[in-house]
Amino acid sequence: MSRPAHAVSYDALCRLVSANGFLAATLVPAAVLRATHIFSLKKLPVFDVLILDSWMYDEWAKRIVSGDWLGGDRAFYMDPLYPYFLAVIYRLFTRDLLVVRLVQASLGVGTCALVAVLGRHVAGRSVGNVAALLMAVSRPAIFQEAEIEKTALGIFLVTVALVLALRPSLRSRFAAGATMGLAALARGNC
């Protein structure tokens, strides 16, 4: 029995998915989805209103920018890396929550690319590209990257650490450990 002319063969699909252009074609929609989500939130009256953890991170970042590097004389109550991350953004661009969200969306697109690297290393080019596509359209990831919250930074750092850990050099493994240490400062439960 012959296949219909319009049926795509498995081999052709694998060639398509494993092409370098497939990854590029995945990263563009990843960026567009994230930016679209952020700009749709901008229309909401609460876009610049922070509550709970977001408010605390923002306040802490503002204190850091004003010169209070250690945040007082007590132990850290929350994971400390994210407020320092915010403080760097505030110092470079002033306090603009749209910029913070766009930087985090960029980290999300970078995470998609890094997931492709991981998948390619573990199971081949096709698997890496499909994994990147799944990360690109992951609704929880898109949502978290638009929040003034530590998750996007933590996921990015853990993914960087995994990519570095898979490299054979001692220098890369050391960098993986240092990056995982940073990830633990962003999310203590990573």
Spell out the per-residue pLDDT of the chain, length 190, in tens.
566 555 566 565 566 556 678 778 889 999 999 999 999 998 888 888 888 888 888 888 888 888 877 766 666 667 788 999 999 999 998 889 999 999 999 999 999 999 999 998 888 878 888 888 899 999 999 999 999 899 999 999 999 999 999 988 999 999 999 999 999 888 776 5
> How confident is the model at residue 120, as a pLDDT?
84
> How confident is the model at residue 101, as a pLDDT?
93
**What number of CA atoms fall less than 13 Å from residue 122's CA on the CB side?**
14
Q: How far is CA 89 from the centre of its chain?
A: 16
> How confident is the model at residue 39, as a pLDDT?
94
The Cα-based distances of 28 to 95, 121, 133, 137 in angstroms read 27, 22, 10, 11
CA dist., res. 112 & res. 116, Å (int): 6
Inter-helix orientation angle 20-42/97-123, to 10°: 150
> How confident is the model at residue 13, as a pLDDT?
55
Nearest CA among 93, 105, 97, 96 for reference residue 37: 105
Q: How many CB atoms lie within 10 A of CB 1?
A: 2
CA dist., res. 175 & res. 39, Å (int): 35
Amino acid at 156: F
Residue corresponding to tokens 């052709």 = 12
Tokens of 120: 């390619």
- Are residues 131 and 164 in contact, defined by beta-carbon separation less than 8 angstroms? no
> How confident is the model at residue 156, as a pLDDT?
96
Element (H, E) at 46: none
CA dist., res. 178 & res. 183, Å (int): 9
